[in-house]
């Protein structure tokens, strides 16, 4: 019997997931900084195009046509468009909101998936899950409370991001049993690059970037691409039920980077809201261990919309 290329190593899988979510948070923090100077669509375009080029350079020579071979081309296109739209709303929200609060609102997506899965996939919502959903939205109300001094439009952008990302996760669930995770990742990068490249003449502008800003712009695709690659490696080494709680380290990274880079810390009430969202979403993730084990491409359905 041939030896599998990846042996189960939970500790290594956890390490990969912690590094991956740090990369994702760094991507968010860098995007937030760059949107102060450059048009938002240009930032999203750079994120996808660099990611796309990295996959072409690193994976196309070995995978060749396997990288684009799919049984559901139109479903891949629709999923890619949803991801692109999610990224646009997400970066718009990060431009207006502190990192920690914005990241917490995106983590509503597992709770929204519970609601959508009942309608789209016919999955039953247990009483425990109903409690988690209600608690999660209560956490958002604590973050967005009157007098909290957070821009309403930024909160709206992030809630839309969470809803779109939930739709993206439902699409991924449908595709993952029959599609390769790397192929799904490639289509997401390709659709994002193609869609925004067609619109370049309408949004390209802003000052000429400095060499340091050029490096920051290029880093968007590197951080996103390597982050997703580490996610895939993590799920080859450990079970989803083992890794799911560690994805919420992203909230810790977001709080830390928000303080170090932007000198912002959530106040006490907002922090309680963030914790409630994290615990509610984590309870949904942990409940998956009692369901039928996911397919081999489950990793494609995990993590934030990057």
- 179 vs 68: CA distance, rounded Å: 10
Domain membership flag for residue 121? yes
- 6 vs 189: CA distance, rounded Å: 25
Q: What is the pLDDT of residues 106-128, one digit of tens each?
A: 988 888 888 887 776 666 777 88
- 85 vs 165: CA distance, rounded Å: 9
Domain membership flag for residue 2? no
Q: Which of 135, 121, 101 has its CA nearest to residue 283?
A: 135
Please compute Rg for the chain using Cα positions: 19
- 67 vs 183: CA distance, rounded Å: 5
Domain membership flag for residue 86? yes
Domain membership flag for residue 4? no
Q: Identify the residue whose tokens are 């996911």.
A: 294
Q: How many domains does the chain divide into? A: 1
Could you tell me if 25 and 254 are in contact, meaning their C-beta atoms sit under 8 angstroms apart? yes
Domain membership flag for residue 250? yes
Q: CA torsion angle for 27, 28, 32, 33 (degrees, to 10)?
A: -30
Q: Identify the residue whose tokens are 């003449």.
A: 201
Domain membership flag for residue 40? yes
- 66 vs 183: CA distance, rounded Å: 8
Q: CA torsion angle for 279, 22, 190, 65 (degrees, to 10)?
A: -100
Note the pTM of the prediction, 2 decimals.
0.83
Measure Cα distances from 221 to 48, 102, 103, 306 in Å: 6, 21, 19, 10
* pLDDT tens by residue, the chain, 306 residues: 334 455 667 888 889 989 999 999 999 999 999 998 898 888 999 999 999 999 999 889 999 899 999 989 999 999 999 999 999 999 999 999 999 999 999 988 888 888 887 776 666 777 888 888 888 889 888 888 766 678 889 999 999 999 998 888 888 878 878 888 889 889 999 999 998 888 777 777 678 889 999 999 999 999 988 888 888 788 778 777 677 778 888 899 999 999 999 999 888 888 998 999 888 887 876 666 555 554 445 444 444 566
Domain extent at residue 247? 10-301
Domain membership flag for residue 267? yes
Domain membership flag for residue 3? no
């Amino acid at each position: 019997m041939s030896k599998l290329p990846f042996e189960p190593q939970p500790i290594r899988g956890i390490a990969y997931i912690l590094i991956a979510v740090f990369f994702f948070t760094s991507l968010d923090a860098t995007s937030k900084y760059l949107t102060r100077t450059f048009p938002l669509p240009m930032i999203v375009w750079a994120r996808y195009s660099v990611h796309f080029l990295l996959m072409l350079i690193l994976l196309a020579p070995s995978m060749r046509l396997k990288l684009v071979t799919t049984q559901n081309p139109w479903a891949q296109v629709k999923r890619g468009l949803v991801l692109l739209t999610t990224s646009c709303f997400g970066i718009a929200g990060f431009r207006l909101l502190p990192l920690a609060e914005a990241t917490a609102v995106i983590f509503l997506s597992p709770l929204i998936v519970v609601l959508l899965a009942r309608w789209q996939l016919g999955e039953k919502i247990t009483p425990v899950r109903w409690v988690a959903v209600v608690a999660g939205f209560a956490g958002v109300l604590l973050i967005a409370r009157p007098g909290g001094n957070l821009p309403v439009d930024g909160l709206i952008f992030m809630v839309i991001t969470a809803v779109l990302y939930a739709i993206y996760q439902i699409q991924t669930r449908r595709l993952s049993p029959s599609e390769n995770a790397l192929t799904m990742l490639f289509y997401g990068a390709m659709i994002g690059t193609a869609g925004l490249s067609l619109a370049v003449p309408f949004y390209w502008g802003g000052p000429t970037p400095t060499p340091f800003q050029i490096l920051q712009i290029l880093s968007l695709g590197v951080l996103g691409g390597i982050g997703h690659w580490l996610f895939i490696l993590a799920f080859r080494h450990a079970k989803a039920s083992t890794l799911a709680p560690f994805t919420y380290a992203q909230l810790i990274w977001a709080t830390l980077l928000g303080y170090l880079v932007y000198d912002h810390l959530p106040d006490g009430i907002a922090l309680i809201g963030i914790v409630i969202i994290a615990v509610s979403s984590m309870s949904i993730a942990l409940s998956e261990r009692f369901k039928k084990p996911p397919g081999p491409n489950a990793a494609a359905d995990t993590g934030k919309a990057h």
